[in-house]
């Protein structure tokens, strides 16, 4: 099967993945689904369905009452590994207005919504300037509003990466003013002007290059049944889960997981997880630099 898949043209392979997506998540697929999604003719849609049957004959059977192919009892994914995270991410993107319903392969959307996330005002021209500087190894002069200063100020930064803390987008950059690598919120870059070549690379950013492994487990004061469900929530094996994170993003990871404060200060049902052991070299305000 693998060799057959590798020989398929990209467009054909994508349509076979679509058939498999609909079979797994919706339970059925027909010619009109392919025609609407890819703008195919009746003959081409029929050819794709027949091709799929030839490659995975046990995965679908024709149901005359539904006038569609339905998922077979011996269904086994061949072209597209079912991914719950991807499915739910699409629902989240739809809820946030990032994705339009026409952009997803989901036919029958379940009733859904999400807790609102405040829109971050990142100027597309600013983002283009930062991305361009990263690609061309340049330093850019930006007008930045830091919360540590009452007024915005111009400074030179040499960005080498973009990062997301779970709520906001940053650029990781060398700050010539403070002569350290820092995180700068893209939404607080008011404007950019001068550009010049830079010899600073991400290789010099030790906190970006170094990874830390967070090993978490259920709060020890939870009941055994509660521990089991927390283990399922976090995909733990043998009661623990390991999360690899760049040291430059460690502050945000700990904050998002609720591990940035004393675990004993919150009830076990609220804290839910704890670190199995302290993180080596981590101390309050350690080498993680952030520009407020």
Q: Is it the case that residue 176 has pLDDT exceeding 60?
A: yes
> What percent of the chain is modeled with pLDDT above 70?
92
Q: Please report which confidence band the pLDDT of residue 5 belongs to, taking 50, 70 and 90 as the band edges.
A: low
- pLDDT tens digits, one per residue of 23-53: 999 999 999 999 999 999 999 999 999 999 9
Q: Is it the case that residue 192 has pLDDT exceeding 80?
A: yes
Q: Which residues of 229-258 are buried (b: 16+ CB within 10 A; e: fewer)?
A: ebbeeeebeeeebeeebbbbbbbbbbeebe
Q: Model pTM?
A: 0.74
**pLDDT score at 148:** 85
Q: Is it the case that residue 1 has pLDDT exceeding 90?
A: no
List of residues 6+ apart from 267 with CB closer than 8 A: none
Q: Please report which confidence band the pLDDT of residue 237 belongs to, taking 50, 70 and 90 as the band edges.
A: very high
Average pLDDT over residues 182-198: 94
List of residues 6+ apart from 191 with CB closer than 8 A: 126, 142, 143
- pLDDT tens digits, one per residue of 6-28: 556 888 999 999 999 999 999 99
**pLDDT score at 109:** 87
Q: Please give the torsion angle defined by the CA atoms of residues 92, 95, 101 and 106, in that order, rounded to the nearest 10 degrees.
A: 40
- pLDDT tens digits, one per residue of 87-102: 999 998 888 788 888 8
**pLDDT score at 2:** 46
Measured CA to CA in angstroms, residue 226 lies from 221, 231, 272, 276 at distances of 10, 9, 9, 17
């Amino acid at each position: 099967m693998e060799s057959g898949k590798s020989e398929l043209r990209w467009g054909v392979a994508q349509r076979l993945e679509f058939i498999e997506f609909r079979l797994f998540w919706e339970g059925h697929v027909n010619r009109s689904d392919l025609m609407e999604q890819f703008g195919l003719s009746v003959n081409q849609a029929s050819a794709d369905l027949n091709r799929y049957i030839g490659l995975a004959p046990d995965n679908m059977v024709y149901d005359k009452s539904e006038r569609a192919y339905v998922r077979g009892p011996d269904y086994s994914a061949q072209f597209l590994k079912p991914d719950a995270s991807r499915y739910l991410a699409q629902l989240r993107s739809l809820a946030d207005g990032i994705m339009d319903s026409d952009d997803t392969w989901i036919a029958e959307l379940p009733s859904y919504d999400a807790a609102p996330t405040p829109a971050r005002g990142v100027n597309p021209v600013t983002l283009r300037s930062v991305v361009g500087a990263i690609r061309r190894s340049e330093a850019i002069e930006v007008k930045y509003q830091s919360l540590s200063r009452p007024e915005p100020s111009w400074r030179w930064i040499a960005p080498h990466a973009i990062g997301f803390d779970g709520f906001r987008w940053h650029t990781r950059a060398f700050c010539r003013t403070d002569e350290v690598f820092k995180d700068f919120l893209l939404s607080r870059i008011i404007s950019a002007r001068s550009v010049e070549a830079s010899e600073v690379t991400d290789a010099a950013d030790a906190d970006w290059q170094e990874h830390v492994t967070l090993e978490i487990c259920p709060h020890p004061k939870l009941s055994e049944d509660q521990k089991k469900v927390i283990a399922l929530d976090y995909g733990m094996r043998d009661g623990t889960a390991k999360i690899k994170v760049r040291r430059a993003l460690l502050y945000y990871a700990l904050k998002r997981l609720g591990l940035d404060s004393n675990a004993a200060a919150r009830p076990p049902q609220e804290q839910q997880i704890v670190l199995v052991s302290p993180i080596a070299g981590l101390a309050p305000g350690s080498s993680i630099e952030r520009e407020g």
